[in-house]
Structure 1
Amino acid sequence: MRSARRGAGLVALAAITALVLTACGGGGGGSGAAVGDATGGAAKAGNDINPVDPAQLRQGGDFLWSLASLPPQFNRNQVDGTEADNADIMNAVMPIIFKGDAQGVLNPDPDYLESAEVTGTNPQVVTYRLNPKFAWNNGRAADWTDFEAQWKARNATNPAFLVAGTTGYTDIAGVAQGATPQEVVVTYAHNFADWRSTFVPLYPRETNADPQVFNEGWLNQPIVDQGAGPFMFDSIDRTAQRLTLVRNPKWWGRTPVLDRIIYVGLDYNAQPEAFANGSLSFLEIGPSVPFFQRAQQVPGAVIRKSNGPNYRHITFNGAPGSILEDPAVRKAIMKGIDRQIITQSQIGPIVPDARPLGNHLYVEGLAGYQDNSGVVAFNPDAARQELDAAGWTLQGDVRVKDGKQLTIRDVIPTGTPVSEAEARIVQQQLGQIGVQVTIDPVPLDNFFEQYVYTGNFDITHFAWLSTQTPVSSSSGIYRVANELGQNYGRIGNDTINQLLDQANQELDPAKQRDIVDQLDQEIWNAGHSLLLYQRPDAIAVQSNVANFGAFGFADEDYTAIGFTQ
């Protein structure tokens, strides 16, 4: 199960040990939540994909790509289309006009864009110049009307469009033609720093002009004549859980090395043996030490690793009336949890030098990362003193205030060994400072819907997925607003809100990073959530697979994937 860094809107991608949620955002950046991640580690530069000049590879062949299941919706901009599995398919079929590199920097894809730049700042204006060869499979040249239609579909003005998210699109005041139909001029109502996250992926006006096509036209299979990528849809067999893409004869860019990409929906626990017997071209090791150990036994297999965008954390519930409403109590409890022990216990077998994460917006490997977690560094003596000062005094083994015991409910999903292990460690460690933890396993299928979304917890464990545009995509997690958004613990303040606004509107990357540093410090000071550890990509492939593996923050180049001679 590969993670979609560029998805938008809330989405669940279920497997035996994982459930992924993607945060509300624009077409580009989106955060996500995952249950069951268990790999992670210290930052490693770049990625690990065995780079080889595509011209030197064996031309042709099939690449067997595992999915948890075939997606229910192939429009990635529709609310049901943001599964990670769908991104793995549709990113080979549709225009991804900006692609992330190994450092998480978004760059224009020259197959689609000759240039894209901010051409005005008061108001902000972005001008896109399309590659004149950029055309949809129906033969129509892509032009400014495709951008206009997607803006109108996703800017929340027409509720008939059931969109994945509106971030970025609601900031736009207008889309117009420039000097030619292939020059697109986007004017913003106010500055939006992560403008590269919009129009990714781009769908044609034939989809975005009609709510019925937008919502239902892509349900059964991709619409072939509305694609514009190196591959195109060939066939689908939902009974056998197989979807096949073939080279697109209308593609104007570099001819793909592969003949076909065959996506195989397969039970999560069956994937290691399928990889071992050659039924899959790669195995995502992800959260599983047993997967890691099994991959090590496969003849000819190599394990490629890089720093990845996911990270585990513990969300605290600070809603009015909750037992953890007081930020001083939340921070004291955080000081009673040894994050290094949790990190080593969960991911040490795969990444021995793993260390806890220290920044809520930037993971290690992204420019601007700075560890600000010192304010909640493990210090059980300080934790005891601060709980005493907050009025929670020890009576026997448990602290009490106003006749009420300091007992907190840790809600975790069933069938997720990572959450279970983390919860047991937290229970043991907090018991040492007089905080009683009750572990409450709830059904995986409704963990988010009935517990996380509704604030039905005191603390809970899952993972967020970072992106190349973390500021805009994470805003809903930390903002306090009339609507809940994804701030499930209801923790925040006006200072955090103001810094989020400043960071989202600051076009200078260096200045934005300074603001984000202040913002992260405020989030730690508020006792919002306790970050645990970052996981890298860990992918097993046969040694003859080239230009594929642990992509880290980068996006795949589907034309380059292939096999050595």
Structure 2
Amino acid sequence: MSHDGVVARSRHPQRSVMRSVAFLTAGVLAVPLLAGCDSEDKAGKPLAGQDIAPVARGLVADGGTLKWAVDAVPATLNTFQADADAGTTRVAQAVLPSMFRLDATGRTVANPAYLESAKVIETEPRQVVLYKLNQQAVWSDGREIGAADFAAQWRALSGRNSAYWTARNAGYDRIEKIERGANDLQVRVTFSRPYADWRSLFSPLYPKDVMGTPDAFNDGARRKLTVTAGPFKVDKVDTAAKDVVLTRNPRWWGRPAKLNEIVLHAVPHDQRAVALADGSVDLADVDPADAERIGLAARGTANPLQGSGRTSVTKLRSWALAHGVGSDQARAGQTTLRRAITRYLDEQQQLRGVEVRKSLEPAYTQLALNGSEGPLADERVRRAVARALDRKELARLVLTPLGLPAVPVGSHLALAGQPAYADSSDAVGDQDPKGAQALLAEAGWVPGGPVKEEKKGEKAAGSEGDRAGKKGQEEKEDKSDGGDDGAYIVGEDDKSGDGTSGDDKSGGRDDGGDRHIAQEGKHGGVPGAYAPKGTAAPAAAPAGLLAKDGKALALRFVLPSGAGSETLNSVAERISAMLERLGIRTTITKVSDESYFKDHIASGDYDLALYSWPSSAFPATDDRPVYAKPVPAADGSVNVEQNYTRVGTDQVDQLFDQAMATLDEDEEVSLIRKADARIWAAGGSIPLYQRPQLVGVRKNLVNAGAFGFQTPVYEDMGFLKKGARISPSPTK
């Protein structure tokens, strides 16, 4: 749910952007749990602020090139296509109009560079929104931004013309017509049905040159944008050099960009510390292990090759492994090992010019419970799992070592500081092992029950490979490198299109491997965090094994195995231990990053899984597909949209529909909070913690870093003037 994008039907990359079970059991939805909005401000404040080294523009030097690491060169520059990613979003933010953007609290604010005002001027017989555009706003070809561009985008995204290969049309399908207002700078948008989230539309806005024909939409904007309207323009997309080069837009009417160029350069996560050291990039999201390495460089790194006497190879190897020099190099011969250590120490010296800026991402990590089959199809078992978890402990495990607020997330639909936020976790109950055991007993799972011996050729429930053959292949290596908190933010970059609908938002923040937001954050693992595939998690003071009808209560916990998955592994191990205490056996199965989301999460081949969702400023629109009740299709399949836990209710769907249709903002917030309480009670997913945001940054780079909720202000980024100083960040 990040405003820059996340997986499933990926939510909209610049905003934040759906389950199949019986109705909730009696008594779960008591009135106090569904009170919704009242005079008390439940939204609170963001748990962490920005960390971008903010300075006045007068202290920023004119000129220079910012080299910004991205995961890959974008496959398309059209954010409305299914394979758009976080890089697509970065380009769009810098070169295209957005009528609204997000502030530091994750709330939408009008963008004065493009809008003088935008408001609902009529509600009967139809909702009408009047946009008054900035008089200076023009496209890079000199043409005024106007109604023709709005109309072309509406026609392309309305869903009425299947020749347009769109990934989403939410909101645009409610527009009845678009007209010129009293003059060329006014645009009247008339809706056929009331639409609460009208501010989500036309951000970004593409020129009619892109939206005017299916060919231009489908192919023309994939590798180039010849007409733009931002502080920067697209100069070139160089796949060979793995670069997207943005240069100053000479027709930009706002405050001129400080930088001459922004180069988005593709760098794998496990190579970013080296890239920061050698100057290949100036700004890069980093894993906790690399963040620790940068901090170590600032304090000075001891040189094991110096000193009296000759250091043994064993000691050098131990030092190299402890400092992340690289397992292959650390285990090599003495000459190769010494060269690797020398190279590492040189990089450490160069990293002294880099610092880590940190905040919390506008995304959260959740435990997903597949309710489509098996023990978790019973709501009582899902709620028992929820009550077994100490979410505060899990948040501390991930965030405390990073110096970030370790507060569990209390809502599926918003994060602290956003208007719709309220902690509704009491709808499923606090950690309560006895209450969890009572729910399991009610569902028929009892300690010490007889378990049928498996017949020859059969696999025990929860054993290695159980149901693993459905799709994908398990990772054969027993180790993972890096420290990503499951780089699975749904929607952040998984654009496979599986299980998506026409309303799917593209650009979901990173979806590759543990980087799908469905992407998990990046955190360093703890010793012993990794369990080889098929290994049952250790238990602390386990209860008697629970069984029913001759079968043990065993759940398959599927995780990615690639670089950066240590944090997810650590969290999964801790969850497994908590469940073991109740007598629930879990088996951790590790699969390749490439198959994790597509072949397991989206296809429903898991019992438990960890991945992330970005938060949205428009939860009524963007989150409905994530929690919608799955619907049988004509061909016998089930359309789950983005509801990968397959748990949903009619009541939740109705509350989303009502929230989307009201123009009363307080009523919309109340309805969203009621929907969240019901989602909690259904127990299909359990929000755990907000993802950490760690950014390695050249020390003299200002107005850039860990942006948190806020949309970056590209024209203010740059390098500090010589002699100027940066005030200490309040987060440090």
1:99 alignment partner in structure 2 = 101
Choose the corresponding residue for 1:419, options 568, 571, 575. Answer: 568
**Does structure 2 conserve the Cα–Cα contact (< 8 Å) formed by 1:127 and 1:184?**
yes
2:294 alignment partner in structure 1 = 295
**Does structure 2 conserve the Cα–Cα contact (< 8 Å) formed by 1:24 and 1:476?**
no
> In structure 2, how many angstroms separate the alpha carbons of the residues matched to 1:240 and 1:28?
26
2:132 alignment partner in structure 1 = 129
Q: Does 1:174 align with 2:177?
A: yes
1:344 alignment partner in structure 2 = 396
* Matches for 1:507-522 after TM superposition, within 5 Å: 507-522=663-678
2:246 alignment partner in structure 1 = 245
SS of corresponding position for 1:324: helix
**Does structure 1 conserve the Cα–Cα contact (< 8 Å) formed by 2:67 and 2:264?**
yes
Per-residue CA deviation, residues 385-415 of structure 1 (Å, 9 max, x unaligned), is: 2211221111163211222221111122222
1:376 alignment partner in structure 2 = 429
How far residue 100 of structure 1 moved from its aligned partner, in angstroms, is 0.9
TM-score norm. by structure 1 comes to 0.90
> In structure 1, how many angstroms separate the alpha carbons of the residues matched to 2:605 and 2:691?
27
In structure 2, what residue type is equivalent to 1:208? M
Choose the corresponding residue for 1:60, options 60, 63, 73. Answer: 63
> In structure 1, how many angstroms separate the alpha carbons of the residues matched to 2:385 and 2:149?
51
**Does structure 2 conserve the Cα–Cα contact (< 8 Å) formed by 1:60 and 1:259?**
yes
1:458 alignment partner in structure 2 = 607
**Does structure 2 conserve the Cα–Cα contact (< 8 Å) formed by 1:307 and 1:364?**
no
* Matches for 1:468-487 after TM superposition, within 5 Å: 468-482=617-631, 483-487=639-643
* Matches for 1:431-470 after TM superposition, within 5 Å: 431-470=580-619
1:88 alignment partner in structure 2 = 90
Per-residue CA deviation, residues 220-257 of structure 1 (Å, 9 max, x unaligned), is: 3x222x21111112233322212221111111111111
How far residue 533 of structure 1 moved from its aligned partner, in angstroms, is 0.6
* Matches for 1:492-511 after TM superposition, within 5 Å: 492-511=648-667
Comparing 147-156 with 418-427, greater Cα deviation is found at: 418-427
Per-residue CA deviation, residues 488-516 of structure 1 (Å, 9 max, x unaligned), is: 11211111111111222232222222222
Q: Does 1:328 align with 2:380?
A: yes
> In structure 2, how many angstroms separate the alpha carbons of the residues matched to 1:253 and 1:494?
48
**Does structure 2 conserve the Cα–Cα contact (< 8 Å) formed by 1:60 and 1:257?**
yes
**Does structure 1 conserve the Cα–Cα contact (< 8 Å) formed by 2:404 and 2:692?**
no
2:194 alignment partner in structure 1 = 191
In structure 2, what residue type is equivalent to 1:84? A
> In structure 1, how many angstroms separate the alpha carbons of the residues matched to 2:578 and 2:237?
51
> In structure 2, how many angstroms separate the alpha carbons of the residues matched to 1:484 and 1:90?
29
In structure 2, what residue type is equivalent to 1:388? A
> In structure 2, how many angstroms separate the alpha carbons of the residues matched to 1:463 and 1:128?
35
1:12 alignment partner in structure 2 = none
**Does structure 2 conserve the Cα–Cα contact (< 8 Å) formed by 1:289 and 1:349?**
no
SS of corresponding position for 2:73: coil
> In structure 2, how many angstroms separate the alpha carbons of the residues matched to 1:278 and 1:24?
33
**Does structure 2 conserve the Cα–Cα contact (< 8 Å) formed by 1:28 and 1:197?**
no
SS of corresponding position for 1:173: strand
> In structure 1, how many angstroms separate the alpha carbons of the residues matched to 2:405 and 2:159?
45
TM-score norm. by structure 2 comes to 0.70
What RMSD over aligned residues (CA atoms) do the two structures have, in Å?
A: 2.0
In structure 1, what residue type is equivalent to 2:587? T
Say which one has the larger Rg. Answer: 2
SS of corresponding position for 1:115: strand
Unaligned runs of 5+ in 2: 19-44, 298-350, 450-543, 632-638, 722-732
**Does structure 1 conserve the Cα–Cα contact (< 8 Å) formed by 2:9 and 2:641?**
no
**Does structure 1 conserve the Cα–Cα contact (< 8 Å) formed by 2:555 and 2:587?**
yes
**Does structure 1 conserve the Cα–Cα contact (< 8 Å) formed by 2:115 and 2:131?**
yes
How far residue 367 of structure 1 moved from its aligned partner, in angstroms, is 2.5
1:205 alignment partner in structure 2 = 208
> In structure 2, how many angstroms separate the alpha carbons of the residues matched to 1:530 and 1:78?
30
2:471 alignment partner in structure 1 = none
2:308 alignment partner in structure 1 = none
**Does structure 1 conserve the Cα–Cα contact (< 8 Å) formed by 2:178 and 2:188?**
yes
**Does structure 1 conserve the Cα–Cα contact (< 8 Å) formed by 2:2 and 2:361?**
no
> In structure 2, how many angstroms separate the alpha carbons of the residues matched to 1:339 and 1:512?
28
SS of corresponding position for 2:94: coil
SS of corresponding position for 1:480: coil
Choose the corresponding residue for 2:555, options 395, 408, 416. Answer: 408
1:17 alignment partner in structure 2 = none
How far residue 67 of structure 1 moved from its aligned partner, in angstroms, is 1.1
> In structure 2, how many angstroms separate the alpha carbons of the residues matched to 1:234 and 1:492?
46
> In structure 1, how many angstroms separate the alpha carbons of the residues matched to 2:244 and 2:2?
18
1:152 alignment partner in structure 2 = 155
> In structure 2, how many angstroms separate the alpha carbons of the residues matched to 1:540 and 1:267?
14
In structure 2, what residue type is equivalent to 1:548? A
* Matches for 1:249-260 after TM superposition, within 5 Å: 249-260=250-261
Cα gap change, 1:27 to 1:163, in 2 (>3 Å): farther
How far residue 24 of structure 1 moved from its aligned partner, in angstroms, is 4.7
In structure 2, what residue type is equivalent to 1:383? A
> In structure 2, how many angstroms separate the alpha carbons of the residues matched to 1:64 and 1:347?
28
**Does structure 2 conserve the Cα–Cα contact (< 8 Å) formed by 1:29 and 1:472?**
no
In structure 2, what residue type is equivalent to 1:376? G
Cα gap change, 1:421 to 1:478, in 2 (>3 Å): same
How far residue 22 of structure 1 moved from its aligned partner, in angstroms, is 6.2
**Does structure 1 conserve the Cα–Cα contact (< 8 Å) formed by 2:630 and 2:648?**
no
In structure 2, what residue type is equivalent to 1:113? L
Q: Does 1:21 align with 2:4?
A: no
**Does structure 2 conserve the Cα–Cα contact (< 8 Å) formed by 1:356 and 1:533?**
yes
SS of corresponding position for 1:329: helix
SS of corresponding position for 2:409: coil
Choose the corresponding residue for 1:119, options 105, 111, 121. Answer: 121
> In structure 2, how many angstroms separate the alpha carbons of the residues matched to 1:216 and 1:130?
29
How far residue 214 of structure 1 moved from its aligned partner, in angstroms, is 0.6
> In structure 2, how many angstroms separate the alpha carbons of the residues matched to 1:365 and 1:276?
36
**Does structure 2 conserve the Cα–Cα contact (< 8 Å) formed by 1:64 and 1:262?**
yes
Per-residue CA deviation, residues 305-353 of structure 1 (Å, 9 max, x unaligned), is: 333211100111112x432111111101111122222222223210354
> In structure 1, how many angstroms separate the alpha carbons of the residues matched to 2:439 and 2:590?
30
How far residue 4 of structure 1 moved from its aligned partner, in angstroms, is 6.0
2:234 alignment partner in structure 1 = 233
In structure 2, what residue type is equivalent to 1:458? D
Aligned residues: 536
Per-residue CA deviation, residues 132-155 of structure 1 (Å, 9 max, x unaligned), is: 222212222111011111111111
**Does structure 2 conserve the Cα–Cα contact (< 8 Å) formed by 1:411 and 1:458?**
yes
> In structure 2, how many angstroms separate the alpha carbons of the residues matched to 1:445 and 1:339?
29
Cα gap change, 1:174 to 1:512, in 2 (>3 Å): same
> In structure 1, how many angstroms separate the alpha carbons of the residues matched to 2:14 and 2:172?
11
**Does structure 2 conserve the Cα–Cα contact (< 8 Å) formed by 1:30 and 1:466?**
yes
**Does structure 2 conserve the Cα–Cα contact (< 8 Å) formed by 1:4 and 1:87?**
no
> In structure 1, how many angstroms separate the alpha carbons of the residues matched to 2:272 and 2:4?
24
Choose the corresponding residue for 2:694, options 538, 547, 558. Answer: 538
Q: Does 1:5 align with 2:3?
A: yes
Greater strand share, 1 or 2?
1
Unaligned runs of 5+ in 1: 8-19, 33-41
Aligned sequence identity (%): 34
Cα gap change, 1:534 to 1:205, in 2 (>3 Å): same
SS of corresponding position for 1:500: helix
> In structure 1, how many angstroms separate the alpha carbons of the residues matched to 2:619 and 2:52?
24
Q: Does 1:307 align with 2:360?
A: yes
> In structure 1, how many angstroms separate the alpha carbons of the residues matched to 2:376 and 2:714?
48
